[in-house]
Structures are given as structure tokens and as C-alpha cells.
């Protein structure tokens, strides 16, 4: 298996509401909720939205889609400055996100905060002065 992630799919309770949320954050899409699935173009990986119940059934007809508590998964948006962290968290809040942790200096030497989307999916917005970015905006991983 090649070490690659092509699509991250989020199971959502309302495709329309989540589509509006991510569109408000500036994620470009060529599909709409009427298509039954939404794909957002991002640097490196595609972010997909799919109805939660349908996603659970795709995993297995017996899969339980009831979620509670912390799932152990976060998504990250890395920035090129501390100010951009604050800007993105503000944009997320205006789009309807819940700020879970305001931006602050963190133990590893960076600056970050967390928000949750309308379905509770957690996003970290983070800056580290040691990070570099590829031309396409993806993070350089050495």
C-alpha cells in the first residue's frame, strides 16, 4: 500500500447545513447536496461530506452510527502565521462553529486552537514557526 490518503469523508447529519458551513469557510466544491455527496477541493486531500446514516450502512448494514463523546480523530489546518490562526478561528465561528479551545501558545512551541463543525468534527488550527509548506500549500513532512 502506498502511504497516501486521498479522501477524508465526514459523516454528517445534514448535508445541506455542512455544505453551507464548509462553503462559508472558503472550501471550493463542484458538487452540491443535491448530488447526495459533496467533495471539497483542498491542497493534497479531498474532503467529502456524506450523510451519516448512509455512511454507516456503507461500512456495514449492522454498523451503529450513534456517536457519543470524543472519537479520537481531529483534522488540522496549518497556517503560516499566528495571525492566520486567529483569522481562521474567527471565520469558523462566524460560519457556525463552536470554538472548543481558543488560540493560545501550546506545549510544543506553536500556537493553536480548536473548533468543532456542525456535527462535532474537531478541527485544530495551528501555527508552528518550524513548519514549511510545499508550493501547493501542503505541509512539508520530513
**pLDDT tens, residue by residue, 45-87:** 889 999 988 888 877 777 666 766 667 789 999 999 999 999 9
Please tell me the predicted confidence (pLDDT) of residue 26: 95
Among 17, 43, 61, the domain boundary falls at 61
CA 14 to chain centre: 16
Q: Are residues 78 and 110 in the same domain?
A: yes
| Model pLDDT, residue 36 | 92
- Asked if 130 and 142 touch (Cβ cutoff 8 Å), the reply is no
Dihedral pair phi/psi, residue 102, rounded to 5°: -60, 155
* Same domain membership, residue 76 and residue 56: no
Q: How many CB atoms lie within 10 A of CB 123?
A: 20
What's the pLDDT at 67? 61
For the chain, what is the domain count? 2
* Domain assignment of residue 66, yes or no: no
Whether residue 99 has pLDDT greater than 80: yes
Domain annotation covers residue 122: yes
Q: Residues of the chain with pLDDT > 90: what percent? A: 61
95 and 140 belong to one structural domain: yes
The H or E element containing residue 84 is helix 82-95
Q: Are 118 and 95 in contact (CB under 8 A)?
A: no
The parent domain of residue 27 ranges over: 1-61
Q: pLDDT-derived band of residue 140, with 50, 70 and 90 as boundaries? A: confident
Instruction: Output the pTM of the full model.
Output: 0.84
Cα 16 to Cα 50: distance, rounded to the nearest angstrom: 10
pLDDT at 135: 87
Residue 141 lies in a domain: yes
* Per-chain mean pLDDT for the chain: 89
CATH assignment of the domain containing 34: 3.10.180.10
pLDDT band at 117 (very low <50, low <70, confident <90, very high): very high
- Asked whether residue 54 falls in the same domain as residue 87, the answer is no
Give the Cα-Cα-Cα angle 26, 28, 29 (nearest 5 degrees): 140
Amino acid at each position: 500500500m502506498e502511504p497516501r490518503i486521498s479522501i477524508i469523508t465526514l459523516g454528517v447529519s445534514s448535508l445541506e447545513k455542512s455544505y453551507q458551513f464548509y462553503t462559508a469557510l472558503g472550501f471550493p466544491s463542484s458538487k452540491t447536496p443535491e448530488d447526495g455527496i459533496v467533495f471539497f477541493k483542498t491542497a493534497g486531500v479531498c474532503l467529502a461530506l456524506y450523510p451519516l446514516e448512509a455512511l454507516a450502512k456503507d461500512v456495514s448494514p449492522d454498523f451503529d452510527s450513534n456517536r457519543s463523546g470524543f472519537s479520537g480523530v481531529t483534522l488540522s489546518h496549518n497556517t503560516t502565521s499566528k495571525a492566520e490562526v486567529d483569522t481562521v478561528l474567527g471565520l469558523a465561528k462566524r460560519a457556525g462553529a463552536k470554538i472548543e479551545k481558543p488560540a493560545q501558545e501550546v506545549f510544543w512551541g506553536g500556537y493553536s486552537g480548536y473548533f468543532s463543525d456542525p456535527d462535532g468534527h474537531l478541527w485544530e488550527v495551528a501555527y508552528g514557526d518550524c513548519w514549511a509548506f510545499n508550493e501547493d500549500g501542503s505541509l512539508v513532512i520530513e
